[in-house]
Amino acid sequence: MKGAALLFAVVLVAAVVVVGLAQRPGAAQGPAANRASATPRDAGAALDEQQAAVAGAAEPLAGLYAQPSELLEGGAQALEARLAELEDAGVPVVVNKWASWCAPCRYEVPFFQEAVVRYGDRVAFLGLNAADEPAPAQGFLDEFPVAYPSYVDPRESLARDIGAGRGFPVTVFLDGEGGRYVAQGAYATPARLAEDIERYALGAGTGPG
């Protein structure tokens, strides 16, 4: 009887630990957790490849890509000024909200590296590092360098301003003419991200063939 009671107690404690881990900030749940457990080995593009692809970009894209993997302060005023500059130039923008503790963010960031190579001379890519700490955020960017900067958004206020205030990751597409589309959750493949860039940023209908 005592043995059965002890076994029950051990099982109960283990269950509590599992539930606690599943509910911690940034814990992936459901099918996305399986996808986010490891970054696809055949995905991504090195920083030098990204920078080579955008080397001939005109302003204001050139200024944007002169800040690779930087974490930018300045709050709403700085982000709004940059978005206004890009909109005035008619440049579509893709803003990806991410955090270092977010497993699905880790899964999809190589797809954004690839997207820069393919679209960076026509589309402005920006990051929004939300609900995060400086050191792990920089560590994330050291591991997954991107040709574009990220604005620091510790309280997710910037994310709310652009319609990306819930969940991680979130991607916001601005077509340069006032149109906006918000995609919740991680992209499953580079092709799905490319399709949405074509459709919602570049306005190319159904996306690549």
Instruction: Report pLDDT for 192.
Output: 98
What percent of the chain is modeled with pLDDT above 90? 74
Does 33 have pLDDT greater than 80? no
Q: Describe the strand order of the beta sheet including 93-98 as a list of residue ranges.
A: 71-72, 150-153, 124-130, 93-98, 170-174, 180-184
pLDDT tens digit sequence for 61-85: 999 999 999 999 999 999 999 999 9
Instruction: Report pLDDT for 76.
Output: 97
Domains, the chain, ranges and CATH?
Answer: 58-201 (3.40.30.10)
Instruction: Report pLDDT for 67.
Output: 98
Q: How confident is the model at residue 42 (pLDDT cuts 50, 70, 90)?
A: low
For every residue of 177-202, DSSP letters joined together read SS-EEEEES--SSHHHHHHHIIIIIS
Does 89 have pLDDT greater than 90? yes
Q: Which two tokens stand for residue 143?
A: 């591991």
pLDDT tens digit sequence for 128-184: 999 999 999 999 999 999 999 999 999 999 999 999 988 999 999 999 989 999 999
Mean pLDDT of 19-32: 36
Instruction: Report pLDDT for 167.
Output: 94
Neighbours of 138 (CB within 10 A): 16
Question: Could you identify the residue written with the tokens 């894209």?
Answer: 61
